[in-house]
Structure 1
Amino acid sequence: MSSKVIHAIYTDDDILMQAVKQTREAKYHIEEVYTPFPVHGLDKAMGLEPTRIAIASFMYGLVGLTVAVLMMNFIMIEDWPQNIGGKPSFSYIENMPSFVPIMFELTVFFAAHLMVITFYMRSKLWPFKQAENPDVRTTDDHFLMAIDVANHNVEDMTKFFYDTGALEISIVSNDEH
């Protein structure tokens, strides 16, 4: 059994935001919104849960900091101690001020690179993956809101979305997008 979805197309992000709020007030289920650029506040207007990506970034930064500390301790103190600028090489704590830039850089390096990998895995963006946007105009200058028809009257929904400022409305089966 395939369900139907309404695709409402808008050309202005402010009109889209207002339409999303009206759609939520009307108790219609928004499956997805496709935009050519990030729209500030759209996630809150759609009622999406806050992201946990900041927690992941912090954890990745801690991994980078740990790798930096262990690497510098092993290389500069245990394995190959060197007298650079008269600094003692027998204690990590005494040398730590000179290691701060390396700790910072590896923290940022690990957080940034692991965040990119996490984003691609979470978004399921694999190399050579085909685009999934239902209308190619959403990559240029149009916004598309996909709304599940479920048990609602299609004619009433179509009129509702035209009233919210939609320029074009199409009804597709869930198998097509």
Structure 2
Amino acid sequence: MEASKVIHAFYTDDEVLLDAVKEVKAAHHHIEEVFCPFPVHGLDKAMGLAPTRIAITAFFYGITGLAFAIWMTNYIMIEDWPMDIGGKPSFSWIENMPSFVPIIFELTVFFAAHLMVITFYMRSRIWPFKDAENPDPRTTDDHFLMEIPVNNNEEALVSLLAKTGAVEINIVDKH
């Protein structure tokens, strides 16, 4: 695997970073990644990232939980072990549905939340005991880092980044 050079441009203000990302994208440079200590509103749009589809998966996971809850309440309370509770016999699921609403709601939320978190971790490739991929520990405290690959345009890129307000510019080998 061949090492490639990248430029790490550090910023200390989120608004300056956002403006810098817009300028770098306007100059037709590819931004590999931006590391931030907190979410920056509008950064994904400025970088040109596609919108997330996690909400769509959450909807389908909720539908799965709803279907499971309906099947489970019907099987347990109507088919497998029907009970006469308070003089209300279990003849059909629809007659007893109001008493199943809390169970149905909780299982819908449970499935949506847990499967969405698992999907997020799998999509982000965040596994248990995985080493952090953060290139500089300052980005977890008070600095923002923009990582840009160098493609024989090192001088032009460094001067552009200096104009955008970068407080530190480093050229490193990425393995």
The two structures share one fold, judged by TM-score above 0.5: yes
Q: Which residue of 1 aligns with 2:4?
A: 3
**Moved >4 Å (runs of 4+):** none
Range moving further from structure 2, 85-94 or 7-16: 85-94
Structure 2 CA distance for aligned equivalents of residues 84 and 118 of structure 1: 40
Letter aligned with residue 3 of structure 2: S
d(CA) in 1 for partners of 2:85 and 2:143? 60
2:84 maps to amino acid: N
Superposed displacement of residue 51, structure 1:
0.8
d(CA) in 2 for partners of 1:3 and 1:127?
Answer: 28
In the alignment, the residues of structure 1 paired with residue 35 and residue 86 of structure 2 have an alpha-carbon distance, to the nearest angstrom, of 58
Describe the superposition over 1:84-142 as per-residue Cα deviations: whole angstroms up to 9, x where unpaired: 23323010011112111111110000110111111111111111111101101011111
Map Cα deviations across residues 54-81 of structure 1 (whole Å, 9 max, x no partner).
1110111111111100100000000111
Match of 1:35 in 2: 36
- Name 1:105's counterpart in structure 2: 106
How many correspondences in the alignment?
A: 174
Gaps of 5+ in 2: none
How do 1:20-169 residues align onto structure 2 when only pairs under 5 Å count? Answer: 20-152=21-153, 154-169=154-169
Name structure 1 gaps, 5 residues minimum.
none
**Whole-angstrom CA distance in 2 between matches of 1:151 and 1:49:** 28
Once residues 26 and 87 of structure 2 are traced to their aligned partners in structure 1, the CA distance between those partners, rounded to angstroms, is 70
Deviations 1:5-40 (A, max 9, x none): 110000111111010011100101000000011111
Whether the 8 Å CA contact 1:88–1:94 is kept in 2: the answer is: no
Aligned partners of 1:34 and 1:133 also within 8 Å: yes
Q: Between the two proteins, what is the percent identity of the paired residues?
A: 70
Q: Which secondary structure state, in structure 1, belongs to the residue aligned with residue 160 of structure 2?
A: helix
8 Å contact 1:36–1:143 — kept in the other structure?
yes
Shift of 1:2: 3.5
